[in-house]
Amino acid sequence: MSETALKPVPPAITNRTREILSGYQGQSPGTLANIARLLNHGHLAGTGKLVILPVDQGFEHGPARSFAANPSGYDPNYHFELAIDAGCNAYAAPLGFLESGAAEYAGEIPLILKLNNSDSLFDSKDPCPAVTGSVRDALRIGACAIGYTIYPGSAHRNEMYEALRELTLEAKEAGLVVVVWSYPRGASISQQGETAIDVIAYAAQIAAQLGAHIIKVKLPTDHIEQDAARKVYEKEKIPIGSLADRVRHVVQSTFNGRRIVIFSGGAAKDTEGLIDEIKAIKDGGGFGSIIGRNSFQRAKGEAVELLGRIMNIYKN
């Protein structure tokens, strides 16, 4: 080989990425390429793990509750830069935030357009978010995926399922990835039940059955909400004693690991508490995390350091 000859380039798709993609048989080449795009971006590229920055809290909770702790967060571009500098796999937000920076940061970070949102000005035990974006919007701003929240347990759940079906069909025809936030909530579910292991596993299964490629759920507790489910958990001795056990069960509930399941960082918490959760997600075979308030409510340097520490846990 001459001195000027090019050296071999490592394969763009790792064996782990190929293994994950094999679980999505029947999807279009465009969708598979966009799943690979998410898996192959940032510091975790090729590992099969994901860390995503979500910033829909301004819509969901209001600007002061979301950004006053770190006023830089009022600026949509701040979140693009945080996701890029931290080496996240993707950045997810509603239309307004993404639209404001999509051109300036085109191609620098995969985008997930959140297509439905709700505000906290009207308190309802049975939420039903409004559709606030479209598949056409996602394509126009260069997003590789759409995001959509369902609330299993809400009196309006069937409306959400039906709307998601139509958006999923349109997204898949366009070759986009479908990411579903599945958050059990409603008058028939207790507050403790919203994170119960049986309810979270059920919510993850529902999202998978509705055609989601990537599923986001909250971390489950060892509480069991449904009496009928409790009998099965006890009879079959399903391990739920540790957080890693519960993560493993949720992954099992989403087609035995053939769908990517990531876990919410939840409300702001101390660093070591968050790190312990990340270790449990990894040990339980979870595919990663979606970390919002626990990152962008910190000063940027601190947030980048924290996200780097989380990624190193998943990577190593």
Q: Which residues are catalytic?
A: 216
Task: List beta partners, residue 90.
Answer: 52
121 C-beta neighbours (distance < 10 Å), count:
6
Question: For the packed helices 300-315 and 271-283, what is the interaxial angle rounded to 10 degrees?
Answer: 20
| Integer CA distances (angstroms), 183 to 33, 180, 215, in order | 27, 9, 10
d(CA 177, CA 50): 14
d(CA 116, CA 146): 10
Sequence-distant (≥ 6) Cβ neighbours of residue 142 within 8 angstroms: 102, 106, 107, 111
Question: Which of helix, strand or coil describes residue 177?
Answer: strand
Question: Rounded to the nearest 5 degrees, what angle is found at the Cα of 202, between the Cα atoms of 251 and 159?
Answer: 125
| Residue 134 burial (10 A CB sphere; 0-12, 13-18, 19+) | middle
8-state DSSP, 4:
T
Helical (H) or strand (E) element with 200: helix 197-209
Question: Rounded to the nearest 5 degrees, what angle is found at the Cα of 262, between the Cα atoms of 168 and 180?
Answer: 20
